[in-house]
Chains A and B, each alone.
Chain A
């Protein structure tokens, strides 16, 4: 069956450390993968998109990798801050670049302690 799985446990780290979140998928061949941030009671906010031919993408303190062999994406936040505390969702388009609809992982709740 098709699945997208993220770290099921909440991630607690100390301010200043690097947070690493994992997204694994099964029986999909996505053309790209996206990462979103969701705060309680709010809609998701887009962070980064990485295409299948890209190994790594960076934006300020954020870095995403995409390994199509392992079927895995890693999301890193360097020099983490308490304001980074939120739930992070990975998502992919199951229809290979058609239509734009997204299937989401269950999310990883990140808590950054001062």
Chain B
């Protein structure tokens, strides 16, 4: 079964709305989670690393004030797209790996399809 759960799976909202996406690790504690964005027919682009109990690390070109990340517990990270606009419409996916060696495979959520009208 799924080890990483993402919610909601789909969001349609008006421009200017803020949208929160949740990512939960279901059967392990994840001190680190990752957030990706994927446009149609393109690959996953890493947006940020979510660190439990500390600030997220953002990739170059990703606005930290636009994409707020909170990792308040060992099983939950949230991504909030603030004041979303049509260009933010995309497929957002989170991932986590089991504790242990850093070369563990990532377990991905099933993504959130965000559509901004």
The A interface is mostly helix, strand or loop, or mixed, namely: loop
The B interface is mostly helix, strand or loop, or mixed, namely: strand
Within 8 Å of chain A (Cβ to Cβ): is B67?
no
Q: B102 touching A49 by the CB < 8 A rule?
A: no
Q: A43 touching B108 by the CB < 8 A rule?
A: yes
- Count how many chain B residues have C-beta atoms less than 8 Å from C-beta atoms of the other chain: 25
Q: A102 touching B106 by the CB < 8 A rule?
A: yes
Q: B44 touching A44 by the CB < 8 A rule?
A: yes
A34 proximity list for chain B (CB < 8 A): 105-106
Q: A49 touching B46 by the CB < 8 A rule?
A: no
Minimum CB–CB distance from B76 to chain A (whole Å) comes to: 17
Minimum CB–CB distance from B106 to chain A (whole Å) comes to: 6
Given the interface pairs A41-B111, A43-B6, A43-B111, the reply to whether A100 lies near B44 with Cβ below 8 Å is: no
Interface residues of A (CB under 8 A from B): 31-32, 34, 36, 41-46, 49, 51, 89, 93, 97-107
- Having A93-B102, A99-B32, one finds 17 other A-B pairs with CB under 8 Å, namely A41-B91, A41-B111, A43-B93, A44-B106, A46-B105, A49-B103, A99-B49, A100-B32, A100-B34, A100-B97, A100-B104, A101-B49, A102-B44, A102-B46, A104-B45, A105-B43, A106-B43
